[in-house]
């Protein structure tokens, strides 16, 4: 880490977290583990320098940031799910939905909350500081003058401008001092941004200056353009509470500065709706000396799409273990999934027509799901290096599968089937459950091939599949045919739920008050109780 104002603060905080920043010729810096970490360990937890919820029509990233990279948002957004919520529908603290009657900050009258608890937490954490500095009305007036898709950029630049203006308050919190020092050290890649982007940023900078005369937004136009470029390759998308859709944006310079990208990351971030902090956790066991990485792009995107995004937004060519693994297992799986089915080997394009007869699950998917379950159940080491024993076994399970069945096109097909089935179920067609369960199991198998086993998305999908298996089981009574029973045995529902429970426990919000279970954890506990009741009543029946 270079010397300079704030360098000591940053290095000291990193050291306390068990991390060390070292120079890197290709990446400028990289952060390595100064000790080993077990999967699930919290690596960094810090309040963002600036954070705000998305508004209606403003669901583009404030820049081209990693859209929910670690929450799977990119894959879902690519599959057509946007956030699209109204200005009045998200809490300024937790980014959750707002009720009809909602508290708001009595000082700025702008920040709205879903509850008094969120208002109080936001004030204590960050708002007491930014409320006096950021003229939210002036920001809104300025934002109204530019295209909706660029408004988050404006709001981000304005918020950061206010947060970093003037000397750091001596009595201010440590996180603020560290975040400000880290902001000054972030790359902007300004010289590499295309002309049309710089012109748009110039327009935003002019609007900000004209609307406020600098008051509340601060910064000369040129500085605002640099801030926009910097924010473009350093910001984070935050998910809605307990969900996967992008609901807000965070500028957290320390985390940006510390963590480089890998398509096979060993860490993931989440926004804690409880504390408003950004929390980075180990996704896998990390050995001392290993580089700690996040994913800036969803690891389930095809390699070419990931490369395009990383090149266009972050200005580098990825050479991680998955992209160029020198023949490592994950790189080979990635290459298998990158194959395009030829015309004689087409992925089915249409959604199912016969929801009464779900297809059988192919042996490769069953093998992958068994490997996932064993990895999650085991207490042994869980590294994710690209060529660990688990990753080699996964490759062995899929090496001979045809592109028709194992490709991104196939993954997207199953994801689409799952979404379609869930819509039908929501519309009152419970008989679709077994079909939905099959689709969910395939999606889970693809997740297992693309993500480390303890990735939060794997946990959510395990729970989704478990719920569908349980509901299919309910349909498998007399007269309902054997297909339902074949899809969903009680043993499968139990295995999936146990998997979900372990992953959810390892990825639960560490800042949640009194470690209160999340809704997903509550659902998993309920499912296990139901399955136990079912097992007890069948045992009684047999006796
Ligand atoms: C969020 S910053 C990460 C911190 C960065 N290492 C630094 O020293 O400022 C993102 C930038 O780091 C560099 N970077 C991150 N991951 C990289 C990787 N895997 N390979 C090459 N460069 C990378 C790129 O310049 C990217 O725009």
Ligand 1 binding site (Cβ under 6 Å of any ligand atom): 26-29, 186-187, 189, 233-234, 256-257, 260-261, 314-316, 318, 320
Mean pLDDT of 317-330: 88
Digit-coded pLDDT (tens) for 441-493: 999 999 999 999 999 999 999 999 999 999 998 887 654 455 455 555 888 89
Q: What is the C-alpha separation between 403 and 384, in angstroms, rounded?
A: 25
Point out the least confidently predicted range of 57-66, 298-307, 333-342, 527-536.
Answer: 57-66
CA of 157 to the centre of ligand 1 (A): 21
Which of 3.90.1410, 2.40.50, 1.20.58, 1.10.150 is the CATH number of 7-294? 3.90.1410
Q: What is the C-alpha separation between 463 and 255, in angstroms, rounded?
A: 29
Tell me, letter by letter, the H, E, C secondary structure of 238-298. Answer: EECCCCCCEEEEEECHHHHHHCEECCCCCEEEEECCCCCCEEEEECCEECCCCECEECCCC
Terminal C-alpha separation, the chain: 70
**Which tokens go with 366?**
């069953």
CA of 315 to the centre of ligand 1 (A): 8
CA of 88 to the centre of ligand 1 (A): 35
Locate the ligand 1 atom nearest the alpha carbon of residue 261 and give its number: 16
Locate the ligand 1 atom nearest the alpha carbon of residue 24 and give its number: 6
Digit-coded pLDDT (tens) for 189-215: 999 999 999 999 999 998 888 876 654
**What is the value of pTM for the model shown?**
0.89
List the residue whose alpha carbon is closest to atom 6 of ligand 1: 29
List the residue whose alpha carbon is closest to atom 22 of ligand 1: 27
Kindly tell me if the per-residue pLDDT of 182 is higher than 60. Answer: yes
Collapsing DSSP to helix, strand or coil, 363 comes out as: helix
Most informative mutation of 1, 28, 252 for ligand 1 (most atoms within 8 A of CB): 28
Which residues make beta-bridge pairs with 531? none
Most informative mutation of 14, 27, 309 for ligand 1 (most atoms within 8 A of CB): 27
pLDDT of residue 514: 65
List the residue whose alpha carbon is closest to atom 23 of ligand 1: 27
Mean pLDDT of 96-117: 91
CA of 59 to the centre of ligand 1 (A): 25
Query: What are the structural domain ranges in the chain?
Result: 7-294, 325-542
The burial of 516, by beta-carbon neighbours within 10 Å (0-12 exposed, 13-18 middle, 19 or more buried), is given as exposed
- The predicted complex's ipTM stands at 0.99
Closest by Cα among 265, 206, 481 to 384: 265
Portion of the chain with pLDDT greater than 90, in percent: 58
CA of 189 to the centre of ligand 1 (A): 10
For the chain, give me the number of helices (H) and strands (E)? 20, 10
Q: What is the C-alpha separation between 438 and 361, in angstroms, rounded?
A: 7
Which residues, 6 or more positions from 5, have their beta carbon under 8 angstroms from its beta carbon?
181, 184
pLDDT of residue 58: 66
pLDDT of residue 134: 76
CA of 331 to the centre of ligand 1 (A): 21
């Amino acid at each position: 880490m270079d010397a300079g104002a704030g360098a000591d603060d940053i290095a000291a905080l990193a050291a306390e977290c068990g991390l060390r920043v070292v120079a890197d010729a290709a990446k400028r810096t990289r952060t390595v583990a100064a000790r080993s970490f077990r999967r699930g360990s919290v690596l960094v937890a810090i309040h963002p320098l600036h954070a705000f919820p998305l508004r209606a029509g403003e669901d583009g990233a404030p820049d081209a940031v990693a859209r929910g990279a670690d929450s799977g948002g990119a894959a879902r957004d690519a599959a057509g799910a946007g956030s699209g919520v109204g200005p009045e529908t998200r809490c300024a603290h937790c980014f959750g939905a707002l009720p009809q009657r909602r508290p708001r900050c009595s000082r700025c009258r702008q920040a709205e909350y879903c509850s008094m608890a969120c208002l109080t937490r936001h004030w204590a954490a960050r708002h007491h500081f930014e409320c006096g500095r950021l003229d939210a009305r002036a920001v809104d007036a300025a934002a109204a003058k530019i295209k909706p898709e660029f408004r988050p950029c404006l709001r981000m630049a304005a918020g950061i401008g206010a947060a970093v203006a003037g000397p750091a308050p001596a009595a201010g919190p440590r996180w603020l001092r560290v975040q400000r020092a880290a902001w000054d050290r972030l790359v902007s890649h300004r010289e590499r941004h295309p002309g049309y982007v710089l012109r748009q940023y110039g327009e935003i900078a002019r609007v900000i200056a004209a609307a406020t005369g600098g008051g509340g937004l601060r910064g000369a136009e040129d500085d605002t353009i640099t801030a926009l470029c910097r924010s473009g390759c350093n910001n984070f998308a935050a998910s809605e509470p307990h969900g996967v859709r992008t609901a807000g944006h965070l500028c957290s310079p320390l985390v940006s500065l510390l963590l480089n990208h890998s398509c096979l990351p060993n860490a993931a971030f989440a926004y804690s709706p409880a504390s408003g902090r950004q929390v980075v956790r180990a996704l896998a066991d990390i050995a001392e000396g290993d580089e700690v990485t996040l994913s800036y792009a969803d690891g389930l995107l095809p390699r070419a799409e990931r490369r395009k995004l990383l090149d266009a937004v972050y200005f580098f060519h990825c050479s991680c273990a998955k992209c160029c693994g020198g023949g490592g297992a994950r790189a080979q799986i990635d290459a298998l999934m990158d194959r395009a089915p030829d015309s004689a080997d087409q992925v089915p394009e249409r959604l199912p027509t016969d929801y009464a007869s779900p297809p059988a699950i192919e042996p490769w998917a069953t093998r992958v799901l068994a490997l996932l379950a064993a990895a999650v159940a085991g207490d042994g080491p869980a590294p994710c290096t690209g060529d660990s024993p688990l990753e080699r076994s996964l490759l062995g399970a899929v090496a001979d599968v045809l592109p028709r069945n194992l490709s991104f096109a196939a993954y997207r097909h199953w994801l689409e089937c799952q979404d379609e089935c869930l819509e039908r179920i929501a519309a009152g067609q419970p008989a679709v459950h077994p079909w939905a369960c099959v689709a969910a199991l395939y999606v889970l198998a693809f997740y297992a091939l693309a993500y480390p086993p303890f990735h939060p998305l794997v946990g959510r999908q395990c729970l989704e599949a478990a719920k569908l298996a349980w509901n299919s089981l309910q349909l498998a009574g007399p007269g309902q045919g054997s297909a339902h029973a074949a899809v969903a045995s009680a043993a499968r529902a139990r295995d999936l739920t146990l998997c979900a429970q372990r992953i959810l426990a390892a990825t639960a919000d560490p800042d949640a008050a009194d470690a209160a279970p999340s809704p997903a954890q509550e659902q998993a506990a309920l499912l296990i109780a139901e399955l136990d009741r079912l097992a007890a009543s069948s045992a009684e029946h047999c006796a």
